[in-house]
Amino acid sequence: MSENDIKPSNFIHQIIEDDLNNGVHNKVVTRFPPEPNGYLHIGHAKSICLNFGTAERFGGVCNLRFDDTNPEKESQEYIDSIISDVSWLGFKWDGDIRYTSDYFDELYGYAVHLIREGKAYVCDLSPVEAKDYRGDFTTPGRNSPYRDRSVEENLELFEKMKNGGFEPGSCALRAKIDMAAPNMNLRDPMLYRILNMSHHQTGDKWCIYPIYDFAHGQSDALEGITHSICTLEFEDHRPLYDWFIENLPVPARPRQYEFGRLNINYTVTSKRKLKQLVDDAVVTSWDDPRMPTISGLRRRGYTPASVRNFCDAIGVTRSNGTVDMGMLEAAIRDDLDKNAPRAMCVTRPLKVTITNYPENQEEWFELPKHPKDETMGVRTVPFTRNLLIEQEDFAEVPPRKWKRLTQGVAVRLRGAYVITCEEVIKDADDNVVELKCTYDPATKGANPEGYKPKGVIHWVSADNSVPCEVRLYDRLFTEANPDADKERNFMEFVNPESLVVLSDARAEIGLKGTAPETGFQFERTGYFNVDKTSTEERLVFNRTVGLRDSWAKVQQK
C-alpha cells in the first residue's frame, strides 16, 4: 500500500501521516506494553487493535513488551494469558517478546547518569513523610531534607540499595525536578524503590526495581519506538516522560500520544475489581464468560473478527467515554449471523409422543447448515416417535396472537412434519409433562391441505440426541455504571441472574463430540459456543448472545 492509499481514520493516524510526509520518521514502530498483573480486558483490546493495527496500516512494526517492574503483583500465568490473547486477536509482534526487565541494566545505568548530573538523589523519607512533603494541588511541595546530598554520597547509597543494604521502604531514589511544579508528577518523582523479592524473569539479581514512569520512556527509546500510544490517564505523565528523554543519553526520541480509554456499561474494567470478582468467587475465574476479559469473551463465543470490528466501530478519540454493551453484542451477532452454522437444541425439554408414528421407526431429515450459505452444506437430523420441544413452545391457555403449540392446534416442526396436539398429560402437581400429538405424513416437504399450521418450532429426537448443559449468561451487573454510587460498593450490583444453568438440555445428535470454541446458532434461541469443560459424553454450551437485544427491551419496561 502506498502512502497515497492510506486515509487517516483518527487523529493518531493523522499525526503519523504528517510525520511520515514531513520526514520526521521513515518507519512506524509502536508497542503494546501490558503489565502482567492480571488478564487483559476489552479496553486492552482497543489498545491492542490501535497499536498493532496502526503499525500494520503504515507498513511498520509493533513490539509486544511486558511492563514487568512490579514482581509483587506479576505472574507467569498472566504473561501466558496475554500472549494468548494477542495471538488470538490475530496480531503478530515484531521479533521476540520483550520485557522491561530486559533493560534493567541499562535503566540502572541511566539512574546513575542522573545522579552524576545532580538530577537524582537517594531520599530517606518514609512513604508517609514523602506524601506530606509532596503537597497537593493547591499547596506546593517542600524539598526533602536529603535533596542536597552530594553526588558521591548518592552514588554510594544507590549502590548500597542495589546490593540489598536497606530494608524496603527505608529509602528510594528520586529525580530532582521541581517540588513546586503545578504538575504533581514533576515533584521529585520516585525512580527506584526497594523490593527484596524474586522476579519472574531476572530471578534474585535485583533488590531494587524501577518505577513505571522511569522505565517506560527509556524502554521505548531503547526499542526505537516512534509513537508511544497510551490511554488518556497518562496525559499528565507526558511532561515527565519527556523530561527523562531530554535528560538521558537515550538512543532515540519517542513521543507519547494519548487516546480515550474504552469503558463499557454493565461491567467494570479495573484490574483490581476484576481480581476481586475472581478472589471472592463471584465468578469462577478470569476467563469466566461473564467477565469483560478477552479470554472471557473468547470462552463465551466472541470471535477475533467481532472484537476487532467493534474496536474499529467505536473509533479513537481524545476523550473518555462509555460504550453501550449492546454495541459489542451487535458486533458478535453480526459476525455469527453470517458465519455460524445452524443447529437445534431444546434447552427446557417437554416430551412429545407422536402417537401415529411407528414405535421403532427412525427417519432422517436433511437441513441446511446455513440458510443463506449453501457452501456450508447440510446436516441430517433423526425423527422418531418420541420427540422433545421447548416447554415455552406450548401453552394450555394461549395468549393473543400465539403462534406455537396448544391443544387442538397444528404447528410445523422445523424441517420435518406438521403435528397437532391431541392430549395434554400432567403430573400430580398439575405440571404439563407430556403432549400426545399426531403427525401428518403428507406434510413432508409440503404444506398441508385444508388447514394452516400456527407456526414453526424446533425439536430434537428424545431417542437419538445429545445430552448437554446450557449456560445462559447475561449482564454481570444490574446497574449500567456499577461504580457510579460512591456510597455503595460495586459488588452490591452484581446480577444474581447473570448465570442460569440448564442441565437437562438436548441437542442434535450431529453435535456430539464437537470441539470447544465451536459456535452455533441454535435456531429460534440464540448463539452458543462449546465450552472448554465439554466432554464427548456431555456437551456444555455457553450462550454468546441472543438473537435480538432482549436486555434493552427489559430495561425499557
Tell me if 315 sits within 8 A of 10, measured CB to CB: yes
Instruction: List C-alpha distances in Å: 254 to 23, 222, 226, 247, 488.
Output: 15, 10, 5, 13, 42
Query: CB count, 10 Å around CB of 153?
Result: 14
Longest dimension (CA), the chain: 104
Q: Residues 275-305, buried b or exposed e (16+ Cβ, 10 A)?
A: eebbeeeebeebbbbbbbbbbbbbbbbbbbb
Instruction: List C-alpha distances in Å: 73 to 39, 196, 316, 456.
Output: 12, 14, 30, 55
Strand partners, 394: 405
Locus of grid cell 412429545: 352
Q: Residues 226-257, buried b or exposed e (16+ Cβ, 10 A)?
A: bbbbbbeebeebbebbebbbebbebeeebbbb
Helix and strand counts by DSSP (H, E) for the chain: 13, 27
22 exposure class (CB count in 10 Å sphere: 0-12, 13-18, 19+): exposed
Beta strands 465-473; 539-546: pairing state: parallel
Q: DSSP assignment of 209-237, as one string?
A: EE-HHHHHHHHHHHHT-SEEEEEGGGGGG
173 exposure class (CB count in 10 Å sphere: 0-12, 13-18, 19+): buried
Beta carbons within 8 Å of 433's beta carbon, 6+ residues apart: 350, 351, 425, 426, 427
Query: CB count, 10 Å around CB of 466?
Result: 20
CA atoms of 368 and 378, how far apart (whole Å): 4
How many residues does this entry show for the chain?
557
Closest CA to 158 of 107, 212, 121: 121
Which residues are catalytic, by number?
35, 261, 271
Please compute, for residue 82, the number of CA atoms within 13 A of its CA located in the half-sphere on the CB side.
Answer: 27
Locus of grid cell 545505568: 109
Q: Grid coordinates standing for 544?
A: 454468546
